[in-house]
Structure 1
Amino acid sequence: MRVAVTDIQQDAPSPPRSRKRWWTLPVVSLAQLMVVLDATIVNIALPSAQDTLGMTDTDRHWVITAYALAFGGLLLVGGRVCSAIGHRRAFTIGLIGFALASALGGAAGDAATLFAARAGQGVFAALLAPAALSLLILTFTDGRERGKAFGVFAGVGAGGAALGVVAGGLLTEYANWRWCLYINIPMTAIALLGVPLILRDRPGGSLRHLDVPGVLLSAAGLVLLVYGFTQAEPHGWGDPMVLALLVGGLLLLALFVLVEARTRHPLLPLRILLHRVRGTAFVSVCLMFAAMFGFYLFVSYYTQTILGYSPVKAGMTLLVNAVSTTIGAMLVAGRLQRRVGPDVLIAGSLLSSAAGMLILTQLEVNSSNVFAVYLTPSMVLTGIGLGCLLATATNMATVQLDPAEAGVASAAYNTVQQVGAAFGTALLNSIATSVTGAYLDDHGRGADTVTTGTVHGYTVALWVAFGILVAGALLVGLLSRGRHRTPHPETAAEATG
């Protein structure tokens, strides 16, 4: 999707330039790492927590679901609150609340307390995530500095999902599952020490005109949609409850769009979503997360159930992906972003990750040299693709914003990530399960057959993930076809400035 340089307005006015502005980057990146880590760090620790607290198999998913629902459902509200009270103040409140909820979860003596704590983490993460990105938007408006800052921020955030699995395995095996939550306390303390170094911003709005119908419709619609995705895998996409959740969520979000188009003070101004450059960023990130979160799940399952890796060794396999993601965001994207247009870089990033998926579709039960021939190349290609895309898309998603819109635009960007991750995990996991079930019905249920059928289910689901990424690259190409060349958003900001 391409627009001329003159189509992009100058970014939001920069706060007074100061040498200490660079301290903003490590502080907000640390906070972003916490938010992303907690989406995956408890996955490997879940069996241990279940044994300790006596959770049933039916209820244990709430450890993950409670966080996802609160985080995804309240992001848009959190973005508006950030703008109204000031992003630095919202950032501080989010840090403190997140740490307190983490402490409660780590000390939980029963399942209900842990579920409530995870929901509390999600609530404060919905305030923390948009505040962190907004502070970057408002602090780094110079083109070159902005590209560097967003590259680091995207690298930390993108690598955090894989790093969460690694950290969860290490903490569970060598310490205790409770430290998967307690770890947020020292991280928060370090971030709070850096808050005074962040440039102070002014509130950009007021909650007196808060769009209450928009708040209710968006929160309810996103909660129903995300919860419907989480229930699709165990119950099936045709289950009446799942269909009711998904259809209800879509209807509420459609009504939300109608309300936002008519109200004088919308929670999410539709021009933020309809902006051509920003829309490309949102779509590409949503599709990338849909494919990658299913990918992480299958790699974790395959290495532990088929190859017999310990949780720590399985996590170390994903560490290759985390390192590659950081390299892609900080180095590769930084070198390419001034040489090719952002739509070309995004399409190439999607295809790089698709190539990594394609390698794993060739896995068989008796594949030799699995780590060197299959897992390592796949981890590298998907990691570089994810890092490059997020470094570029984060920048594209924040062009042409007023300071008052920074919070809600940041929240929208985080929301599409959450929806994509929830949808992809549910879709790919249900495909793998159904394909494996059909294979076992046809070939029997002996031990070797079960293993073969399981791997077959994984590879079919990875073919679907491959198709999602290729379709995303083609969509970016089609949307940009016939338009003028789009400069990188940071270059456009320099040109118009």
Structure 2
Amino acid sequence: MSTSVETASEQREKPRSRNLTLALIVIASAQLMIVLDASIVNIALPHIQTDLGFTDANRQWVVTAYALSFGSLLLLGGRLGDLFGRRRMFFYGVLLFAAASLLGGVAPNESLLLASRALQGAGAALASPAALALINTTFPAGKERNRAMATYAAMSGAGAAVGLILGGALTEIDWRWTFFVNVPIGLFVAFLAPRVLVESEGNDASVDVPGAVVGTAGLFGIVYGLSHAAQPDSSWGDFMTLFPLIGGLVLIGAFVFVETKAKHPLLPMRVLADRNRAVSLFAMLLVGAGMFAMFFFLGLFVQQVLGYSPVKAGFAFLPFSVGIAVAAGIASSLVGKIDPRWLAGIGGLFSAGGMVGYAQLSVDSNYVTGLLPWIVIQSVGMAFLFIPLTMTATARISANDSGAAASALNTAQQIGGAVGIAALSTVFTSAATDKGKELMAQVIAQAQAKGLPLPTTAAEKAAAAKQFQQQFGGEIQTYASTQGFWVAAGMLLLGAVATLVFLNVKHEELATDGQESVHIG
């Protein structure tokens, strides 16, 4: 008799387990596609730049356009999921992402490519917060949700490295395949989503249009101003740097005011009122800034200084993917035993240490001793950051606000990435200019000491500039990159200190947060 009861129980359990597994595969696949697209073009950048005619100053927009659109629209995307159903927004977001990827793959010029990147970001802004919110409402609190969260966070961290590997392999064929590859993945996810994910209940509340407009414009202004300052012919005092920056900050202040008055706010201030959630979002902002900038600069360094082919450059980051996958498994098992402040704090210190290691690079550095140890150290650090921060940012939140909390977390990461690339590109450009002037002065002094004539005609100056670039280009780029890594190390160290000092969530709280869960099967 007991055997038949046990068998019936097992039969009831198997469909639910199978559906939860399929649901996790769908959500993780979408998150991997969304995150890897932030980095997949990094390896292809030199080829895209040559093929479509991007300048050195404008090439960062291939990365920044995606992060900017993604980050600035995330709050709206999360709220739309709360209002009209998260599965529905997830489905439409993935389809838009796939269509935009197809457009990017066939783009004949710079403008259309950047437009496709912005559309990809918009699709990601619909799908990503819905994905995280669906985890909170689909998987029961405790072991199953922790496993799902760990997988989601691992995709968020490893996706960037996977993007570099995949980007390298596909660029060897044609850089356009870095866009085309998303189409079958997106269609696969969109096909399964309605079949394995449970739709959340929408409500009759209206969309906070003023909040959406003001918040999006504010975030755009800040990132645009930082990006403009990074251009060689610009400076911090330029009108087109200061005006968007100041205007963006004013609009963010206005956004907070609008949200406190709105009947159905885009981002309810109660979501940010929790100190632990605010600390988690602040730390994730800094983590995004450091990680995106690291992949951006290292992707260029291994190709343009070490001379790696695209596919070799991609596989240079394979240890990061392996390291973060292994460390994520360890972190997910520890998150139920150790308070998240210690896990995230240690992760932040490891990540900052990795950046300090990159800051020691020189033109004579090799991969095994100059890069590999720091890539491994940082992969461990990132895993120990992503797992607990993802969970503390969405812990103790009501089901009605889970979309807003998820979008706030993703916004912090993506805007952090956009701001990080823009700010560190400014550091890079300034350092490269200063180093170039220093080396040029030395070359001129040596020529004068030897009594050699200086170039006078346009042709002579062009030839001299080309020779100077060939001789010192690697040294200039390496020096400028290391200055950016020092700043990134400071960002991650600040995030580590913030979590250690201010994050106060007990590990027992992550096992059961009181949030309603929807079980499938």
**Superposed pair shares fold, TM > 0.5:** yes
Q: Which residue of 2 aligns with 1:354?
A: 352
Q: Does 1:466 align with 2:489?
A: yes
Q: Which residue of 1 aligns with 2:451?
A: none
Q: Does 1:223 align with 2:246?
A: no
- 8 A Cα contact 1:102 1:181, kept in partner: yes
Q: Which residue of 1 aligns with 2:256?
A: 257
- Measure, in 2, the Cα distance between the counterparts of 1:495 and 1:180: 39
- Measure, in 2, the Cα distance between the counterparts of 1:34 and 1:400: 28
- What's the offset of the Cα at 1:28? 0.7
Distance 1:95 1:443, change over 3 A: closer
What is the correspondence of 1:244-283 to structure 2 with a 5 Å cutoff?
244-283=243-282
Q: Which residue of 2 aligns with 1:486?
A: 506
- Measure, in 2, the Cα distance between the counterparts of 1:495 and 1:269: 17
- Measure, in 2, the Cα distance between the counterparts of 1:289 and 1:443: 34
- Measure, in 2, the Cα distance between the counterparts of 1:470 and 1:51: 37
Between stretches 469-478 and 44-53, larger displacement belongs to 44-53
Between stretches 438-447 and 313-322, larger displacement belongs to 438-447
Counterpart among 398, 403, 408 of residue 407 in structure 1: 403
Counterpart among 417, 435, 458 of residue 439 in structure 1: 435
- 8 A Cα contact 1:169 1:311, kept in partner: yes
Counterpart among 187, 190, 193 of residue 192 in structure 1: 190
Secondary structure class of the residue paired with 2:160: helix
For 2:250, give the aligned amino acid: L
Q: Which residue of 1 aligns with 2:36?
A: 37
- Measure, in 2, the Cα distance between the counterparts of 1:157 and 1:148: 14
Q: Which has the larger radius of gyration?
A: 2
Distance 1:233 1:56, change over 3 A: closer
What is the correspondence of 1:19-418 to structure 2 with a 5 Å cutoff?
19=17, 20-53=19-52, 61-173=60-172, 175-207=173-205, 209-234=206-231, 235-329=234-328, 331-367=329-365, 370-418=366-414
- Measure, in 2, the Cα distance between the counterparts of 1:216 and 1:417: 20
Distance 1:139 1:255, change over 3 A: same
- What's the offset of the Cα at 1:200? 1.8
CA RMSD of aligned residues (A): 2.4
- Measure, in 1, the Cα distance between the counterparts of 2:222 and 2:250: 10
Secondary structure class of the residue paired with 2:482: helix
- What's the offset of the Cα at 1:361? 2.4
- 8 A Cα contact 2:43 2:299, kept in partner: no
- 8 A Cα contact 1:304 1:314, kept in partner: yes
Q: Deviations over 1:357-402 (max 9, x none)?
A: 22222223324xx222231111111111112211111111111222
For 1:379, give the aligned amino acid: I
Distance 1:141 1:172, change over 3 A: same
Q: Deviations over 1:310-331 (max 9, x none)?
A: 12211111222122122222x1
- What's the offset of the Cα at 1:496? 12
- 8 A Cα contact 1:396 1:489, kept in partner: no
Between stretches 190-199 and 320-329, larger displacement belongs to 190-199
- What's the offset of the Cα at 1:27? 0.3
List gaps (5 residues or longer) in structure 1. 1-16
Q: TM-score, normalised by structure 2?
A: 0.85
- What's the offset of the Cα at 1:129? 0.8
Number of aligned residues:
473
- What's the offset of the Cα at 1:440? 3.1
- Measure, in 1, the Cα distance between the counterparts of 2:493 and 2:57: 36
Q: Which residue of 1 aligns with 2:6?
A: none
- What's the offset of the Cα at 1:452? 3.2
Report sequence identity in percent.
39
- Measure, in 1, the Cα distance between the counterparts of 2:379 and 2:506: 25
Distance 1:286 1:452, change over 3 A: same
Distance 1:436 1:49, change over 3 A: closer
For 2:257, give the aligned amino acid: L
- What's the offset of the Cα at 1:55? 5.5
